[in-house]
Copies of this chain bind each other. A is one copy, B any other.
Amino acid sequence: MVRKADVFRQKAGIDVRTGHRAERIDIGEQCVSGSTLDGEAFTLPFDRLLIATGADPIVPERPGFDLPGVVVVKTLDDARAIKERIASHPVKKALILGMGYIAMEMAEALRLRGVQVAMAKPRPRLLPWLAEDLVKRVRQELETNQVKIHTGFSIDRIESRGDGLVAWEPSGEAIEADLVVVAIGVASNSELAESAGLKLGPSESIAVDRQMLTSDSRIYAAGDCADAFHVVTGERVWIPLALRANRSGWAVADHLCGRPVSLQGVAGTSVFKVFDLEVARTGLSKEEAASAGFDPATVTIQASSRAHSMPGASPIQVHMVGDRRSGRLLGAQMVGKEGAAHRINAPAVALHTGMTVDQFSETDLAYAPPFGPTWDPLLVGANQLIKAMK
């Protein structure tokens, strides 16, 4: 997403101060102070303040993570750095640290350029929030595409070797690579808010209410730096994703303009593509449900992406989570070559309304042979989950 600052200045009449680093929020004086790139100090007063400092990729403070060829994936400049590295070096092998969706998307992008790809993460599970059978399918897809997966592999230093790099595990194992992509997660840029005394939420994000107001009623926070309420648990969560970030900005504008705002929150819906596979989730995993105090029952079913008579059908795995006590639907996950990405929106809407699994199982979902079996895979899952919840 690239937009020039002048567009905001000229089209919207916004006084955009690029090259200005905000270093301090003085709540009592209602002003923000800092310094410009030229080293000049500035102070800007406010009636209302919006903190939209975003989130940045986490880079471990370990030896060699600042070497050329060790990159993160956030800005256009990051992408250019990766392309430049590939153009200026013979990049035959890439090591991706992390196995989230950014890591997966980079694995695919690099394989498509003919680069050998290895992925490493310290923890033992590939996608810890995804049900086991669904993880298997993702692992298979990665392996089919010659991506090497090193779980339980912690990198504690990176060294140069000739034109390339070597990433070292504490035990002495090493992975050679010409490019190291650090995609181990992001952290909220909340230091400014924290030092101003504003309350923080989960993962050091900035705590906001349903109007996106921080613990100070003159100060909003929105975008990836702010937390949200989860519609299933009612608890604060920090799930930095584009729709929620974008929507929270709109909500601030609405609230400032006097329109009533009370955001429902997030259902934890997300989707990514990895090679030919769509991986989608909404709501809680079994582990998340249990730690939120629910009594979760789960089911994993396999269905077909099209009616059996249709050519081109492929398997879809559906995992669903329900609460034995209340009967509520708590979450759904899907993996398939087609029909997973958009299907996940149906249970997402159900989570917003607190639907029971019974109620969901009766919903009138679309059917035509090219798009699924008569009973949508989600309905097959719900029907099985009803039994598992007894």
State whether the Cβ of A370 lies closer than 8 Å to any Cβ in chain B.
yes
Instruction: Determine if B368 and A243 form an interchain contact, defined as CB atoms under 8 angstroms apart.
Output: no
Q: A348-B363, A353-B353 are in contact. Are A375 and B273 (CB under 8 A)?
A: no
Contact of A272 among B101, B363, B368 (CB under 8 A): B368
The reply to whether the CB of A16 lies closer than 8 angstroms to some CB of chain B is no
User: Do A365 and B273 contact each other (CB < 8 Å), given the known contacts A341-B371, A343-B345, A349-B350?
Assistant: no
Binds B, one of A34-42, A147-155, A354-362: A354-362
A368/B343 in contact, CB under 8 A: no
Q: Once the chains are docked, how many angstroms separate the CA of A347 from the CA of B343?
A: 11
Enumerate A327-377 residues with CB–CB distance to B below 8 Å: 339, 341-353, 355, 359-360, 362-368, 370-372, 374-376
A280 part of interface (Cβ distance < 8 Å)? yes
Contact A365 B341 (CB under 8 A): no
Could you mark each residue 5-33 of chain A with 1 if its beta carbon is under 8 Å from any beta carbon of chain B, else 0?
Answer: 00000000000000000000000000000
A366 touches B341 (CB 8 A): yes
Is A135 an interface residue when CB atoms closer than 8 A count as contact?
no
Q: Which residues of B contact A349 (CB under 8 A)?
A: 346-347, 349-350, 353, 355, 360, 363, 365
Count of this chain's copies in the oligomeric assembly: 2
When chains A and B are docked, how far (Å) is the Cα of A272 from the Cα of B359?
Answer: 25
Task: Find out whether the CB atom of A363 lies under 8 angstroms from the CB atom of B368.
Answer: no
With most chain B CB atoms within 10 A of its CB, the pick from A349, A355, A359 is A349
CA distance A351 to B364 in the complex (A): 9
Chain B residues whose CB sits within 8 angstroms of the CB of A372 once the complex forms: 341-342
* Cross-chain contact A364 with B352 (CB below 8 angstroms): yes
As a 0/1 sequence over residues 259 to 278 of chain A, the CB contacts with chain B under 8 angstroms (1 = contact) are 00001111111111100001
**Min CB distance, A58 to chain B, in Å?**
21
Report whether A371 and B273 are in contact in the complex, using a CB–CB cutoff of 8 Å: yes
B residues in contact with A67, CB < 8 Å: none
**Alpha-carbon separation in the docked complex, A269 to B368 (Å):** 11
Known: A246-B375, A352-B359, A371-B342. A366 touches B282 (CB 8 A): yes
Question: CA of A273 to CA of B312 in the docked complex: distance in angstroms?
Answer: 15
Residues of chain B contacted by A273 (CB below 8 angstroms): 368, 370-371
Q: Which residues of B contact A343 (CB under 8 A)?
A: 342, 345
Instruction: Establish whether residues B271 and A368, one from each chain, have CB atoms under 8 Å apart when the complex forms.
Output: yes
Task: Name A239's closest neighbour in chain B (CB-CB).
Answer: B364
Interface pairs A-B: 10 shortest CB-CB = A345-B346, A342-B342, A267-B364, A271-B366, A341-B371, A353-B353, A349-B349, A269-B364, A273-B370, A242-B374
| Interface of A toward B, CB cutoff 8 Å | 101, 231, 241-244, 246-247, 263-273, 278, 280, 282, 339, 341-353, 355, 359-360, 362-368, 370-372, 374-376, 378-379
Query: A272-B368, A278-B371, A347-B349 given. 7 additional CB < 8 A pairs?
Result: A231-B364, A266-B364, A267-B364, A345-B363, A345-B365, A346-B348, A349-B363
